[in-house]
Amino acid sequence: MEEKRNSSSFENLILYFVSCLIVIVAIASAIGRNGGISLEENIFVIPIWTSLLGVLVALIRRFRLRKRRGEKPFAEIIVNDFYFDNYATLSLLSFVYGVGQGGLFGTALGFSFDFIIVSTMDIPFIQPSFMLLGALCCLVLLIILRVFLESYTVLYRTAQDFGAYIREKKD
């Protein structure tokens, strides 16, 4: 079972990179034609597209994982849970992390692609090292986001367990 999960994760990673490559080829074809987008004027086009693609891939992966685990979707919890048996907060945090993870990882990947493109071109006002710095900043922000959300989740779960302990002690 572990091998199946690892291969699925690997397949998702390959899907992500292939999708990014397709987007970059589409952007490059738009840039390369006469009257297309000028790369010198719009250097951040690639990180924006890879960021959006990253968010899409992360949300699809989140949806599949939640479905596989049998968890209720966030909208269903909000609409149908009148007794507060399920908590929407953790589902919302999962969504925030999915968007953040996909966006930041996609942006880092886009900056890496920009680094490769800019280092082969002679653009006087853009240093290629700034692209690597942008990718590094995105990865650091991703780690900070993960630590912050994990800390909040630990606090939230501790409060839930303490509330259950008090109710149990009361009876």
Tell me the C-alpha distance between 118 and 43, whole Å: 9
**Whether the Cβ atoms of residue 142 and residue 105 lie closer than 8 Å to each other:** yes
All structural domains of the chain with their residue ranges: 2-170
Tell me the C-alpha distance between 168 and 86, whole Å: 19
User: Tens of pLDDT along 4-50?
Assistant: 444 456 666 666 776 776 666 666 656 655 555 555 556 677 788 78
- Using CA atoms, how far residue 70 sits from 63, 120, 150, in Å, is 11, 48, 22
User: Tens of pLDDT along 78-106?
Assistant: 777 676 666 777 888 888 999 999 999 99
Model pTM? 0.70
